[in-house]
Amino acid sequence: MPNWLKDAVFYEIYPQTFKDTNNDGIGDINGIIEKLDYVKSLGCNAIWINPCYDSPFKDAGYDVRDYKKVAPRYGTNEDLYRLFGEAHNRGIHVLLDLVPGHTSEEHAWFLESKKAERNEYSDRYVWTNAAFQGIGGHPYIGGEAERDGCYMLNFFKCQPALNYGFLNRTEDWQKAPDDPECIATREAMKDVMRFWLDHGCDGFRVDMADSLVKEDDENKSATGSIWKNIREMLDKDYPEAALVSEWSNPHQALKSGFHADFYLDHHGNGYNTLIRDNETPGGDHSFLKKDGDGDIFRFLDDYLPKYDGTKDYGYISFITCNHDTPRPRRTLSYHELKIAFAMFLTLPGVPFIYYGDEIGMRYLDIPTKEGGFARTGSRTPMQWDDSKNHGFSDCNPDTLYLPQDPAEDAPTVAAQEKDPDSLLNEVKALVTLRHKYPDLQADGSFEVLFAEKNSFPFIYRRGMLMVAINPSEKEASVSLIDNDHYEDLAKVSDEYHYDNSDIVHCIGKCDVTQTKITLGPQSFAVIKLD
């Protein structure tokens, strides 16, 4: 396990829309370098950059045309190497986005694989034996190659699936995961990883990490074997390199070799019930909304088994949002966002902040761009200040990669830096708190002390710190004694001494005595146990 992950707070950068330095309306690597001091000022000591490789950009870069070449619109390989060095000089680690399940249809491997004559890439992708032989249960394309066969897709039409084999085979064209051609695919991906690690990259966030072996079993054991093999390479040759999966199943991902796994926003799961539960009947029941229904168990019943079952293998990563989900400002107010950040940054695991969430950038209802569709509204250019194009670019506004928030009160970094009560300054304070107290970091212990349906506050313990959250619009209090159903909470009162002087961080109104915790509406407190 890379030791640096314990205290890591990541900042996700969508390169298209972070900072443009050559005035073409699209963000670039030099723009990321220019803003590294800002990332450091947040307290973030690691960044994840979405795909910046050469691509036709039919899926915003997740259709890779050349894994070892930076897309010219972002700069050059040398620019990226310089970014690694500049980040390291500031104590910032850098993850690149690895897309192992598919390439662009324009990738050199696929252009060779399409040919009728056999070659070393013929089996690099999944092909049937005839142009009129489809692929049951999977999307596929036929009639677009001189080769007599149909090829499988892994996502959009432009993304042919790389061949890692089929665990349960029903057709003669399906290869076993240990077939030499499937092993060659795995080794080719390891070669890509080595290339970037040797140039200074600190690891990878892995796109669709569970999508490699087709017709895998319910435990994804064959796909897991591939990642275990890759983890062996990292442990041997790059022991400080990190692997973070887009899997959202820590029981599978962490036990397959990943160091951390994203807790993604899947409808009805625990994460979804915290801030995005707005698709259920009767309104928005998100726990962190002031008028939500307050049922923390809808989160805990999903999260606790995942945490308890995997905490010895790696970390669960909470996200504020990412490039695939609506921004949290879509459903939460600024103050509700403060409480959400407070919870995410005091839970175990490795947290990820999506660029712009720290100032409450809005989700915009705009047309699709580069395969974004509904996701496009979360990918708009960063709002740095009130200058032209909010400081993102000096280009003509009509040439911006995507439009920006047109509202007069569009949030900006510059404005919020000047406001001591801003969301941005609250996020900075919370990240500072996390770095200060190891108990709040990724591997610190976690114990629920008080949780009741439709009741507040929610209280948990991180080592020698007690965290209390009241997201509701009403004052809430809890007795720390005579609490028969919460023996651990009563034990804290028996074994430790604390009062208001032991509150190390507070949002809203917080009052703590030896026997009672009272939080005002939409409040949060971290209490040091003495």
Which 3-state string (H, E, C) describes 99-144? CCCECCCCCHHHHHHCCCCCCCCCCCECECCCCCCCCCCCCEECCC
What is the sign, positive or negative, of the torsion defined by CA atoms of 476, 481, 482, 486?
positive
| Calpha distance 457→517 (Å, rounded) | 9
- For residue 282, the model assigns a pLDDT of 77
Q: In this model, does residue 360 exceed pLDDT 90? A: yes
How does pLDDT run across 232-276, given as a tens digit for each residue? 999 999 999 999 999 999 999 999 999 999 999 998 899 999 998
CATH code of domain 3-100+183-439: 3.20.20.80
Domain spanning 445-528: which superfamily?
Answer: Golgi alpha-mannosidase II (2.60.40.1180)
How does pLDDT run across 398-443, given as a tens digit for each residue? 999 999 999 999 999 999 999 999 999 999 999 999 999 999 999 9
CATH code of domain 102-163: 3.90.400.10
- For residue 56, the model assigns a pLDDT of 98
The proportion of the chain whose per-residue pLDDT surpasses 90, expressed as a percent, equals: 94
Tokens of 512: 């703590």
Contacts 24+ apart (CB under 8 A), 139-146: 144/114, 145/114, 145/115, 146/114, 146/115, 146/116
Q: In this model, does residue 487 exceed pLDDT 90? A: no
How does pLDDT run across 129-181, given as a tens digit for each residue? 999 999 999 999 999 999 999 999 999 999 999 999 999 999 999 999 999 99
3-class SS of residue 273: helix
- For residue 118, the model assigns a pLDDT of 98
The proportion of the chain whose per-residue pLDDT surpasses 70, expressed as a percent, equals: 99
Q: Per-residue confidence at 481, pLDDT binned at 50, 70, 90?
A: confident
Residue 4 contacts residue 13 (beta carbons within 8 Å)? no
Q: In this model, does residue 485 exceed pLDDT 90? A: no
Report domain extents, the chain.
3-100+183-439, 102-163, 445-528
Q: Which of 240-244, 358-362, 477-481 has the lowest mean pLDDT?
A: 477-481
Q: Which of 24-33, 118-127, 472-481 has the lowest mean pLDDT?
A: 472-481
Round the average pLDDT of the chain to a whole number and report it: 97
Q: Per-residue confidence at 88, pLDDT binned at 50, 70, 90?
A: very high
pTM score, whole prediction: 0.98
Q: In this model, does residue 104 exceed pLDDT 80? A: yes
Q: In this model, does residue 99 exceed pLDDT 80? A: yes
Q: In this model, does residue 293 exceed pLDDT 90? A: no
Q: In this model, does residue 482 exceed pLDDT 80? A: no
Residue 444 contacts residue 460 (beta carbons within 8 Å)? no
How does pLDDT run across 305-356, given as a tens digit for each residue? 999 999 999 999 999 999 999 999 999 999 999 999 999 999 999 999 999 9
Q: In this model, does residue 362 exceed pLDDT 80? A: yes
Average confidence (pLDDT) over 206-230: 98
Q: In this model, does residue 490 exceed pLDDT 90? A: no
- For residue 454, the model assigns a pLDDT of 84
Helix (H) or strand (E) holding 54: strand 53-54
